[in-house]
Amino acid sequence: METTEQIKDMVRQKYSQIALQDKDDNQSSCCGSGCCSLETTNIMTDDYSTLEGYNPDADLGLGCGLPTQFARIKKGDVVIDLGSGAGNDCFIARSETGETGKVIGIDFTPAMIEKARANADKLGFHNVEFRQGDIEKMPVTSGTADVIVSNCVLNLVPNKLGVFREMYRVLKPGGHFCISDIVLAGALPQKIREAAEMYAGCVSGAIQKEAYLELIDRTGFKQVAVQKEKLISLPDDILSQYLSEDDVRAFRQSGAGIYSITVYAEKADES
């Protein structure tokens, strides 16, 4: 059993490598896992290219949703992006919060921070800031953010409850979050979990959907709502590397699966 620090080191090393690759390499290697499918190059990400603020240099193809789509960002808001990568969601958020707002991206991989800062400099954005740090202990003052977004990051974190508590701390009273993430439904056979980890990247860190939503409730958030949900379908040519035809058929019929969900929730207004 790997320790929390070992898991974090693995993720840091993996995403340091990803920061040096282009989007096509990341998608074809399934977040740098080295495995590939003839059926599709990317099963997880949604298309950002039509959104205002999109910058292709910042899109590494690592997300599993469009959290800003449901984040209700207003002009002048302070927005924090957890696991900001090369800055893709930060730049989308900046287009919504405008010149009067501020966007803070947090990532614990130095190579990602360096890439994001370079992208912001090229774009001339002075109200987008990137801070290196652990989202379980954010380098942010309490009550800073109006909105928190995150895209396919908490599934990488061992202590998910700790992250939700940190989110609650750094949000202003009445603030809210909108995050896209990977969750599980039903019991996945171990061989499927191994295939999913190689293909989709760190799916082994995902937990059951009900448990995920329960953590949000336990933290004290209100108005919790799943805004979007989609099945992540593992291609047969990947599954067949691990399972017999009968086992693949049984898995397809079991109802168990891997899902991308986008969740919205609010911190109570204490006034």
Q: What is the pLDDT of residues 98-144, one digit of tens each?
A: 999 999 999 988 889 999 999 999 999 999 999 999 999 999 999 99
Q: Which domain holds residue 216?
A: 4-266
| 154: in domain | yes
* pLDDT above 80: residue 201: no
How high does pLDDT run on average in the chain?
Answer: 83
Query: Rounded to an integer, what distance in angstroms lies between the CA atom of residue 176 and that of residue 219?
Result: 13
Question: Tokens standing for 69?
Answer: 């789509």
Query: Rounded to an integer, what distance in angstroms lies between the CA atom of residue 212 and that of residue 182?
Result: 10
Question: Tokens standing for 128?
Answer: 């987008």
* pLDDT above 70: residue 42: no
* pLDDT above 90: residue 57: no
| 68: in domain | yes
Query: Rounded to an integer, what distance in angstroms lies between the CA atom of residue 269 and that of residue 271?
Result: 6
Q: What is the pLDDT of residue 198?
A: 54
| 102: in domain | yes
Q: How many domains does the chain have?
A: 1
Query: Rounded to an integer, what distance in angstroms lies between the CA atom of residue 230 and that of residue 79?
Result: 25
Q: Return the amino acid letter for 150.
A: S
* Of the listed ranges 61-65, 162-166, 174-178, 205-209, the one predicted with least confidence: 61-65
CATH code for the domain of 140 = 3.40.50.150
Q: Do residues 108 and 132 make contact, with C-beta atoms less than 8 angstroms apart?
A: yes
Cα distances from 107 to residues 25, 49, 58, 270, in angstroms, run 21, 23, 14, 30
| 271: in domain | no
